[in-house]
Structure 1
């Protein structure tokens, strides 16, 4: 039962840490490190929650989570699995329920991840095919396809074999050449670093728990950090002022809705746009290397400790 208690403590601690990270100010100064911290918290929460349920349910084996799962599978295959104390095994109803709940949660999370991936791939493929028909190349806008639409829009469609950056005619009307170049650099940063894959686990978590508002809040926090990461990459090629002005012009024009499966320079969320513009025009001191190393070490320790507890034979 010790491992069950420790894993439960980690799961609760991950929830508390996520709430504190959501309100913290330092992620704005180190978005890359903050995204890794979010990934570690999300993964550790899932592993520790499932592990705590399994550790409690499989406690009669006394072999830890991994050992208990192997023993459970062996008993099931040998048809020597009983679910009652009267039948000769110490499994109670609560322990059976814990194991069933653990497998159910695993199935929900896994199916959510697979369903999100399949849906995104399907939508992107359809959108790619549609763009071949309705968009056009423009020699004055290299690296992007032009979509004849009056609303201001700029987004990218990631892919393994084909990736595209799309700029609407409405965006070309409000952006000058330097601002347009900054926007394209931002979108190419999304494509190079595959930010869609970084965001996928959080979108699948939102899909698995659609009515849990806190999940939506954390998803939005990670999405904003990913946009900041792309902003930082774009600043290496263009000036921060150019990108900030582009964001403001999109806000003034009224940006179009982001297609499913795409990553846009702005999704029309005004508070987030204001945060990004303020960050670009008034850059704070970057997160120090010791602080970044401390966060990464904490994330590594959290993951290794959580996995090690699965082997604790108690």
Structure 2
């Protein structure tokens, strides 16, 4: 897929790949483990929990598969919950910090202004979301460029991109050595930035957003606090090129094909859990 053209569609495909991979991997191990029962994963696990005797004798490989499958499933759930709890705690601490070192500014209503000379613009996602800019960013950007950056951050808040990133961040915690997982997380991070760019383009000039990104990149912007979504200087030129020279939209046929692929991935993996291999 040509990622710069349909970032939201690409995000859906990545999410469906992640869900199907997790369900298929754990499902395959558990399906093999409960094979002596002659049923799918869910019926087999229920029978095992009730202490029923399987139709075939247990094999050591089936026992190992059961342990491995349940462990993998527990790890995936645990890292997802842990990542979510840590993100909530980081945002709560950051809101307390912002109350001490930021202030409201009549020139940018609804935005918290951070007393810091470096350029920064980010959002604190959640039910009590906030958009934050620094004094350095206010001095660096023109009025139109600032409006474009604020529209970009508001898009992150509105579309809850923090929830999009959460499963990939959790998977990275579970498999920190995996290059595939690292690449997937990096791709999704870039895609949500492009998706926010697209939404911001509805309310501002794409060229003003592009010049704002270039200014942030040239000024050495302050790193975004952990757990927040902000202006990244990574892949700036790819985003700028896309804003200045947008590619043609994908045809409806191509879009429908990718949607059908995503639906197939998400619905086929759970079949392992209900039907016998």
1:297 aligns with 2:263: no
TM-score by length of 2: 0.97
Q: Please state whether the residue corresponding to 1:310 is helix, strand or coil.
A: helix
- Does residue 185 (structure 1) correspond to residue 161 (structure 2)? The answer is no
Query: Of 128, 138, 148, which residue of structure 2 is paired with 1:172?
Result: 138
TM-score by length of 1: 0.85
Please state whether the residue corresponding to 1:159 is helix, strand or coil.
coil
Matches of 1:64 and 1:163, distance apart in 2: 43
CA-to-aligned-CA distance 1:134-162 (integer Å, 9 cap, x gap): 101111112211111111110000111x1
Match of 1:310 among 259, 264, 273: 273
Measured in 2, the distance between the counterparts of 1:138 and 1:124 equals 22
- Per the alignment, residue 83 of structure 2 pairs with 116
Report how many aligned residue pairs link the two structures: 277
Write the distance in 1 (CA, Å) between the matches of 2:172 and 2:272. Answer: 27
Aligned mates of 2:79, 2:53 — CA distance in 1: 30
Q: Aligned residue for 2:22?
A: 46
C-alpha distance in 2, partners of 1:153/1:198? 22
Alignment counterpart, residue 194 of structure 2, candidates 210, 228, 233: 228
Give the whole-Å Cα distance in 1 for the aligned partners of 2:53 and 2:140. Answer: 69
Post-superposition offset of 1:310: 2.3
C-alpha RMSD of matched pairs (Å): 1.4
Which stretches in structure 2 are left out of the alignment for 5+ residues?
Answer: none
Q: Which has the higher contact order (CA 8 A, sep 6+)?
A: 2
User: How big is the shift at 1:32?
Assistant: 0.5
Q: How does 1:237-276 map to 2 (within 5 A)?
A: 237-266=203-232, 268-269=233-234, 272-276=235-239
Q: 2:120 maps to which residue?
A: 153
Matched residues in 1 for 2:179 and 2:118: separation? 30
For 1:310 and 1:292, the matched residues in 2 are separated by 29
Partners of 2:82 and 2:6 in 1: CA distance? 31
- Verify the 8 A CA contact 2:224 2:231 in the aligned structure 1: no
Q: Unaligned 5+ residue runs, structure 1?
A: 1-23, 83-87
Q: Note the C-alpha offset of 1:81.
A: 6.4
